[in-house]
Amino acid sequence: MSNKVFMKGCEAIAEAAVRAGCRFYAGYPITPQNEIPEYMARRLPQVGGAFVQGESEVASINMVYGAGAGGTRSMTSSSSVGISLKSEGISYCAGAKVPMVYVNMQRGGPGVGTIQAAQQDYFQATKASGNGGFRMIVLAPSTVQEAVDMTYQAFDLAERDRSPVLILGDGVIGTIMEPVVLPEMKSDEEVAALKAKNREWAIVGHGRDEKRGYIQPGYWSNDMQEQHCRNLEAMYERWEQNDVQVEELFLEDAEMVFVAYGTSARIAKNALEMLRAEGHKVGMIRPKTLYPFPSKAFDHINYDTCKCVLDIEMSIPAQMVYDVRMAVKGRCPVDTCLRSGGNLIERDNILGKAREILTGGAN
């Protein structure tokens, strides 16, 4: 492991991807993720990789589809409205079982919206990233260090499952600077070995007597397609058993439990510390995977003492709250504390809402 370095979120993600063996990136500029392609344009040629600025988001995701189909660790990134344009290509990767990693640094919406940070792509990330009802592992960092670690891990997960993996950040995570410990750089030999492992299925050219790679070309019979979907369903169930990541704080005695991810979780955790110092028994569930969602963590809440679960997100109307309600199962009330449109949730927003509930309406 290297010493700590001071890096901006987007650039740290890009460096982590290179160190994980990513050797192809295609993308298109959009705020607030522009530092990822800018960094990749400089960095990938240094390690024998390829950077392409596509003529559009649609072109870029299909270039990643092609590179990934060849067994190369491949990546793209965008922000919100740009991810919408990539959704068809992402669905093709899921349908063809082509591993790839992509990053969404969320901005306000709907539509073009605002370039400031938001969390309004939760539905898109976890429910409808493209047609066909497919799912992906969705990782939600709340610090630059987590963004680095999750990016490095994402390439292994993508290749393990031959599936897209999403890093869901936002404009704050992408632009803040924090000290990070970067993971080890995979050697040229390790990168080559990783690609060689994919040869059985990758489209790389094969000898006369060698088993040929095969990528789903876009059409199967109904029965073949149904079986493919059943195989995906089984994989999603394995994810729920093995791949949930969550942070749980003070659930045993909590009279209120915060639920937040990403930037909102950073701010909520600070509010929690203040409230605990005041004598309020507040706990927290922070999903690190938004899919699979950590529903079982909500079984660890003591519902004999918990007055409320407070969903905290930068989205109006709330989106994650639907998964929160499903996990709570009516065992206590669920309320929300929300900002949107590029407005950051503030500590005082959370403190005010929490104190109002905890004290029965008195501030």
Helix (H) or strand (E) run with residue 89 in it: helix 81-96
Q: Is the pLDDT of residue 363 over 50?
A: no
> Token pair for residue 81?
């409205």
Q: Which of 80-84, 149-153, 159-163, 227-231 has the lowest mean pLDDT?
A: 227-231
* pLDDT at residue 310 in the model: 98
Average pLDDT, the chain: 94
DSSP 8-class letter at 91: H
Domains in the chain (CATH in brackets) are: 4-242 (3.40.50.970), 246-358 (3.40.50.920)
* pLDDT at residue 273 in the model: 97
Helix (H) or strand (E) run with residue 357 in it: helix 347-358
Mean pLDDT for the stretch of residues 31-39: 97
Q: How far apart are CA 186 and CA 188, in angstroms?
A: 7
Entry pTM: 0.95
Per-residue model confidence as pLDDT tens digits over 86-118: 999 999 999 999 999 999 999 999 999 999 999
At residue 116, φ and ψ (nearest 5 deg) are -75, 165
Q: Which among 137, 139, 136, 128 is positioned nearest to 173, based on CA atoms?
A: 139
Per the listing, tokens 């992408």 go with 174
CB 87 within 8 A of CB 62: no
